Amino acid sequence: MSRVVVAAAYGGPEVLALVEEEPGTPGPGEVLVEVRAAGVNPADWKTYTGAWGSDPARLPLRLGFEAAGVVLAVGPEGESFAPGDEVIAHPVQGAYADHLVVPSADLVPKPAGLDWARAGGLMLAGTTAVHAVAAAAVGAGDTVLVHGASGGVGAMVTQLAHHRGARVIGTASPANHEYLVDLGAAPVAHGPGLVDRVRALTPSGVHAVIDTAGTDEALDASVALVSDRRRVATIANGVRGTELGVRVLGHGPGGDPGTEVRRAARRLLAELAGSGRLTVRVGATYHLADVARAHRAGIAGRVVGKIVLVP
């Protein structure tokens, strides 16, 4: 038997329960993975709080879109992996579990130099960041403004843009400014006067903006700073983004999911993280049985960095 986290109803973290289920046998092209770490993301609680709908036919909901673990068994036609291989799984459904049956196409090898927690929390934020950087056409010599640069996706965007040779200005609360400097960004506080503060840092102007914060202030400031709205991308405010005519990314109405871009990015992200060129900041780890507590911390914003569940 395997322990699995499910949302038995729609509501807050109190609806989460740990149940036992048979892990299943891998079929053609599938692999059975023993999960060592599973990343926690805002998308996880949006699935059961009603933010993405509350169809009772979908209950109970299994949670978790990314994990890292060890291959236990391989089904027919899944021979690209073998028992004992260390892997990262994304995109998947139901990663909050002891065991997970996934298509082998959803796996990439885990680098030996990447620990379990960071491997388990790398891919969702990382692939989203790669998509955002590509959508905003960030390149060498650009000055890029990243809203929410100290968050999970924002920190990835900051590092990836820096690797491309761009200068990054990142918004964050003052408590996180030192962290942004460590990532290679020039920090700036959000709030009233943001446009003037950014202009003071960039006399030659801003070429592109990536919004991971999702506030109207962030997007209004973005279009005030960048004339070409095709180079402004938001992952967090589709409504305002659509109104302003900027690039809206993700699975919401009118959004670009970037499915192929994100899938193609996984091996590169693993390579960068495994070699230390991309940092995954793990803020807290919780045991699988403490999933409700982990979600309360995430929803309240009490953890700086990635929250990771470990069985």
Residues 226 and 291 in one domain: no
pLDDT score at 78: 64
Residues 136 and 117 in one domain: no
Residues 36 and 90 in one domain: yes
Single-letter code of the amino acid located at 151: G
Model pTM score: 0.96
Residues 299 and 223 in one domain: no
pLDDT score at 253: 83
Name the domain boundary from 241, 256, 271.
256
- Domain coverage including residue 290: 2-122+280-310
Residues 195 and 164 in one domain: yes
**Ranges of residues in the chain whose predicted pLDDT is under 70:** 78
| Structural domain includes residue 264 | no
pLDDT score at 249: 98
Residues 150 and 252 in one domain: yes
| Structural domain includes residue 203 | yes
pLDDT score at 280: 96
Instruction: Please identify which residue in the block is written with the tokens 């796996």.
Output: 107
CATH code assigned at 92: 3.90.180.10
Residues 189 and 284 in one domain: no
Residues 118 and 133 in one domain: no
Residues 159 and 185 in one domain: yes
Name the domain boundary from 256, 271, 295.
256
